[in-house]
Structure 1
Amino acid sequence: MKLSTSQTRFLRSQAHNLKPVVMVGGKGVTEALLEELEIALNAHELIKVKVSAEEREERDEMIDILCRKSGAVKVQRVGHIVTLFRRNSQNPKIELPK
């Protein structure tokens, strides 16, 4: 899924007050974490994830893995927090602008 500039802007505004619901810890991206990510994305569509890796390259790699494995789109990243979006095809909750 590719987001337009206006859609990205809209999702960033929607995510502003959200708190991280998934935390990537010292063990990195595990199967259990991917299951939790799947549940959170199905329930909310738009979530924040906290990635606790010290090195920027390591954080970027973990974020790429999360996006690839979950099918989510990175909306934005600020420090250790990344905002992800994935439309729930059966029960969409967020109406994106054109």
Structure 2
Amino acid sequence: MALSQDRKKALRTIGHKLNPIVIVAGNGLSENVLIEIDRALEDHELIKIKYSVGDRDLKNELIKQTEKSTRSTLIQSIGNVGLFYRAAKEPDPKKSNLAQRY
């Protein structure tokens, strides 16, 4: 999903206030973790994921796998936290991190 630089900047601004909603640790991207990430993206559209894996190369690989497996877009990665976006099929304004800000 290609996003304009202005759109990414707006999403980063919103994401700044968010806390990580999913933590990927030693077991990596298990099926249950991917299901939880998929559910969170459908509910919130913009989420932070924390990667507690220690190795930078492994973290980068997990971020790429997360993008591919969830069909989301990495907006920003700082330290061990990645900010991901995927538009919801039917956004719920009560749950979406975007609905109240746009």
> What is the TM-score when the length of structure 2 is the normalising length?
0.89
Q: Deviations over 1:58-84 (max 9, x none)?
A: 000000000000000000000000000
Correspondence for 2:23: 23
For residues 7-86 of structure 1, the aligned pairs below 5 Å read 7-86=7-86
In 1, distance between residues paired with 2:89 and 2:5? 22
Report the CA distance between 1:45 and its aligned residue: 0.1
Q: Percent identity?
A: 31
Please provide the CA RMSD for this pair: 1.7
Which structure 1 segments of 5+ residues have no match? none
Residue identity matched to 2:8: T
2:7 corresponds to 1:4:
no
In 2, distance between residues paired with 1:11 and 1:19? 14
Q: How many residues align?
A: 97
In 2, distance between residues paired with 1:33 and 1:55? 19
> What is the TM-score when the length of structure 1 is the normalising length?
0.92
